[in-house]
Amino acid sequence: MKLRFALAAALAAIPAAANAQTLTGTVSVDGTVAGRCVLGPPSLTSVPLGTLIDTTGPRAGRLTTIAAQAINFPGSWCNFANTRITVSANALLSANATAPSPGFARAVNFTATATNWAASNAAVTTAASAAGATPSASAPGGTHPAPKLADLILTLNNFAVPADSLLVTGAYAGNVTITLGPAS
């Protein structure tokens, strides 16, 4: 009896399965990615130049030879086209803002160049006066036409004092800012 009931139930289900409909639905999935640029972490956050003057010999008191300084920004990137690097620099100035006597200076100028982004590099040279006036300079590099991932290199070199003057005593400080972003 149980077998007959199970068989009857199975046979009754066959026409229902044959008449069942298949239904489909579509769900869209979407998202966005905003344009973004990231500068990798600098290999140095401070560049200690040490004693800026020669302490003996015919150039005693004048700017010593300072080797080029390189700072790396590994893993820098922009995920959109038409980007550029801009470099802004402030000359090294003595913390003592008193105007220097004739033959002395309180400013050390230098060139800052950011490379490895576009065909033309971003390079700027500060041009502070001996008294420290107009210490700031800024310049953009070329435009890169596509998204890019690169290890940027910032080089500081060509250190010079206006008129090769003697430097006044004290602590000197300057800075460089790199901006990575849209070209316009």
Q: Is residue 81 part of a domain?
A: yes
CATH number of the domain to which 106 belongs: 2.60.120
pTM of the entire predicted model: 0.85
**Residue 1 confidence (pLDDT) above 90:** no
Tell me which residue range forms the domain holding 131: 35-182
Quick: pLDDT tens for 57-74: 999 999 999 999 999 999
Asked if 159 and 139 count as a contact pair (C-beta separation under 8 A), the reply is: no
Quick: pLDDT tens for 101-157: 999 999 999 999 999 999 999 999 999 999 999 999 999 999 999 999 999 999 999
Report how far residue 111's alpha carbon sits from residue 156's, in angstroms, rounded to the nearest whole number: 6
Q: Is residue 21 part of a domain?
A: no
Q: What is the dihedral of CA 64, 165, 167, 42, to 10 degrees?
A: -50
C-alpha to C-alpha distances, 46 to 29, 79, 164, 168, 177, nearest whole angstrom: 46, 28, 25, 22, 12
Closest CA to 77 of 113, 117, 32, 112: 117
Q: Is residue 16 part of a domain?
A: no
How far from chain centre, in Å, is Cα 69? 16
Q: Is residue 4 part of a domain?
A: no
pLDDT at 15: 56
**Residue 5 confidence (pLDDT) above 70:** no
> Which amino acid, one-letter code, is at 131?
A
**By percentage, how much of the chain surpasses pLDDT 90?**
88
Domain count, the chain: 1
- 131 CB-near residues (< 8 Å, 6+ apart): 99, 100, 105, 106, 107
Q: Is residue 56 part of a domain?
A: yes
**Residue 179 confidence (pLDDT) above 70:** yes
Give me the chain's average pLDDT, please: 93
pLDDT at 3: 46
